[in-house]
A = this chain, B = another copy of it.
Amino acid sequence: MAQKFATREEDYSKWYNELVGRADLAEHSGVKGCMVIKPYGFAIWEKMRDILDAKFKETGHSNAYFPIFIPKSLFEAEEKNAEGFAKECAVVTHYRLKADPNNKGKLIVDPDSKLEEELIVRPTSEAIIWNTYKGWIQSYRDLPILINQWANVVRWEMKTRLFLRTTEFLWQEGHTAHATKTEAIQETEQMLDVYTEFSENYMAMPVIKGFKTESERFAGADETYCIEAMMQDGKALQAGTSHFLGQNFAKAFDVKFADKEGKLDHVWATSWGVSTRLMGALIMTHSDDEGLVLPPKLAPIQVVIVPIYKNEEELKLVSEKALEIKKALFSKGISVKFDDDDNRRPGWKFAEYEVKGVPVRLAIGPRDLAENKIELARRDTKEKMTISLDGLDLFIENLLNDIQDNLYNRALKFKAENIHYVDSYQEFKEKIETVGGFFMVHWDGTAETEAKIKEETKATIRCIPLDAKEEAGKCMVTGLPSSKRVVLAKAY
């Protein structure tokens, strides 16, 4: 632990990269742009996945699985979608290797195995799914279709960062089909609410719900809803999107249904997704210079117990009590690790669980035992306290709830403090560079102004908040009239 790591103050980006490594979450792989998600990182992702999966099922969705490959002719059917993803597609062109005649033990691509039609590794699955739905939908009785899939997708990236931007990532993608526009919009909004509830109540991460501007919309969508979170450096991170796809894919794949009167119409669609990017959001919302800080609801280990002992006999004594505590906590649904690894000293363990963001650490030695006490440290505030062993399980149960709330409130406060209402472009240009954060500004609604701001400041319109107040104003750039403020920020 002698190594010196970057602090957030010194170099936020370096701090993040080092933290992902120190906390054993993920690493770069031997494949450019692709990551290895390590067991501890994956355990957090599994918790996220399981909670979201339960919420999708509660709202009536089923899981299914569609192919990873999309034939080029299907991929290009919805033109806007195809155009939006064309520049980042991994393409399979051959299906066989053979021995290299000039290099013993090496392989070359067999030129005789060239595919007649190239296959795209899915960057998103609308095309293959709507080509499938075509066969499933004839009448209103077949609707709605409410399906989700957990899958890997590939979007070729030149510059990657672990979790935040990788060529391959894991995600879920919901794809639903409806008889009416109203129902499809309700679904889009419902799933945005599911994401919001998950972000706030589980990730302890406040978000702003909004619409994307036309230029930031998902390729092929009529409307993209999003949730935007503020990271500790004031930058925005798009944490989830829910798209109202209109009839675009139904038209591209000719998917029609007969209503009760037998009239044919194209089907209405939505799609919505969150990805392993949420891991990046989670890390950057709560962690500190000492390491990861995890909200208890997503912590694979919620409580760690470290025994303090000088000899076998003391360890035995302490272990008995520790296992008793573990059992009591376990019966309350709290996950506990008792770390009695004899190869590591308590100080090493303290540092290890701190860097890994375990919410509560208990340390217990023979003297504590004799006094019926235990030493407790909470990760979020770094407070240490000595408490009685009596009623410890209840104390910890409440404490975990407190920690969850504290993390949320802390992030909420940070967000509130870093939202600026600005009416002058000059002021904006200064402040985005000095104080950073989210800027609530009037904008004239044109793509030109949006592009100009991006060009000149690197900030983008993150969203038009769903709850934006009607407020007469003037675009800070052009002076043209505007009726509500939008959120402007630099983004991940």
Query: Are A72 and B97 in contact (CB-based, < 8 A)?
Result: yes
Q: Which of A157-206 contact B (CB under 8 A)?
A: 168, 170
A30 engages B121 (CB within 8 Å): no
List A40-91 residues whose CB lies under 8 Å from chain B: 42-43, 46, 62-72, 74-76, 79, 82-83, 86-91
Q: Quick check: which of A104-112, A316-324, A348-356 contacts chain B, the rest being far away?
A: A104-112
**Alpha-carbon separation in the docked complex, A88 to B154 (Å):** 21
- In the complex where A31-B128, A96-B86, A109-B118 touch, is A36 in contact with B66 (Cβ < 8 A)? yes
Q: Is the CB of A92 within 8 A of B91?
A: yes
Which of A86, A91, A343 neighbours the largest number of chain B CB atoms within 10 Å of its CB?
Answer: A91
A27 to B170, CA, bound (A): 24
Q: Which of B74, B90, B118 contacts A119 (CB 8 A)?
A: B90
A35 at the interface (CB under 8 A from B): yes
Contact status B90-A35, CB under 8 Å:
no
A158: nearest chain-B partner, CB-CB: B95
A62 touches B39 (CB 8 A): yes
Task: Name, among A35, A38, A92, the residue most crowded by chain B CB atoms within 10 Å (CB to CB).
Answer: A92
Q: By the criterion CB–CB under 8 Å, are B67 and A93 in contact?
A: no
With A67-B34, A69-B31, A94-B93 as given contacts, are A107 and B42 in contact (CB-CB < 8 Å)? no
Measured between beta carbons, the chain B residues less than 8 angstroms from A147 are 39
Question: Is A332 interfacial (CB 8 A cutoff)?
Answer: no
| CB within 8 Å for A105 and B79 given contacts A38-B64, A97-B72 | yes
Are B29 and A42 closer than 8 Å at their CB atoms?
no
A156 within 8 A of B: yes
Interface size on A, residues (CB 8 A): 66
A63's partner among B35, B42, B63 (CB-CB below 8 A) is: B42
Query: Does the CB pair A107–B76 fall under 8 Å?
Result: yes
Most chain B beta-carbon neighbours within 10 Å: one of A30, A72, A135, A343: A30
Q: Which of B68, B70, B91, B343 contacts A154 (CB 8 A)?
A: B68
Within the complex, which residue of B42, B70, B97, B106 is in contact with A120, where a contact is CB–CB below 8 Å? B97
Interface contact A96-B46, CB-CB below 8 Å: no
The verdict on A304 contacting chain B, using a C-beta distance below 8 Å, is no
Interface CB pairs A-B, < 8 A, 25: A29-B67, A29-B131, A31-B128, A34-B68, A36-B65, A42-B64, A68-B152, A68-B168, A69-B90, A72-B107, A76-B105, A76-B107, A82-B97, A83-B99, A86-B97, A87-B96, A87-B98, A91-B113, A92-B121, A93-B94, A93-B109, A96-B156, A97-B120, A109-B118, A121-B121
4 A-B pairs with the lowest CB-CB distances in the bound complex, closest first: A34-B67, A39-B62, A86-B97, A37-B65
Measured CB to CB, the residues of A under 8 A from B are 27, 29-31, 34-39, 42-43, 46, 62-72, 74-76, 79, 82-83, 86-99, 105-107, 109, 113, 118-121, 128, 131-132, 135, 141, 147, 151-152, 154, 156, 168, 170, 343
